[in-house]
Amino acid sequence: KNQVEQSPQSLIILEGKNCTLQCNYTVSPFSNLRWYKQDTGRGPVSLTIMTFSENTKSNGRYTATLDADTKQSSLHITASQLSDSASYICVVSDRGSTLGRLYFGRGTQLTVWP
């Protein structure tokens, strides 16, 4: 069964600190992996997309890593800001269909305190 598991479920950090969110998946055949940020009451917004051949990708203070061998990804947030408080969702897609099936994790709820 294709699954996407994220950890931790929730995380509280102080403003200015760094944090790392984890995503493990069993989706096969793998196509790509995305990290989305979802603010409370809003729709998800894409942060990064990584394909099989990419190990690291950065978007400002966000850095995603991918290990396709162990089927693990991480999202590292540097120098956190209050606006980083949100749910971070890992989404993995397969390449077994024209639609490109998407598998969603439950997200990690990050809270940044001043």
Would you tell me which residues interact with other proteins (CB under 8 A)? 4, 31-32, 34, 36, 41-46, 49, 89, 91, 93, 99-100, 102, 104-107, 109
Tokens representing residue 57 in the block: 């990708």
State the Cα–Cα distance between residues 111 and 14, nearest whole angstrom.
Answer: 8
Q: Which is nearer to other proteins, 53 or 114 (CB)?
A: 53
Q: Which is nearer to other proteins, 19 or 33 (CB)?
A: 33
CA 103, 37, 61, 79 torsion-angle sign: negative
State the Cα–Cα distance between residues 6 and 104, nearest whole angstrom.
Answer: 10
Q: Please, what is the minimum distance in Å from the beta carbon of residue 16 to other proteins?
A: 27
Q: Which is nearer to other proteins, 19 or 50 (CB)?
A: 50
Q: Please, what is the minimum distance in Å from the beta carbon of residue 100 to other proteins?
A: 4
Tokens representing residue 46 in the block: 């894409």
Q: Which is nearer to other proteins, 34 or 77 (CB)?
A: 34
Tokens representing residue 95 in the block: 């390449």
Strands 108-113 and 10-14: what pairing?
Answer: parallel
Q: Please, what is the minimum distance in Å from the beta carbon of residue 93 to other proteins?
A: 4
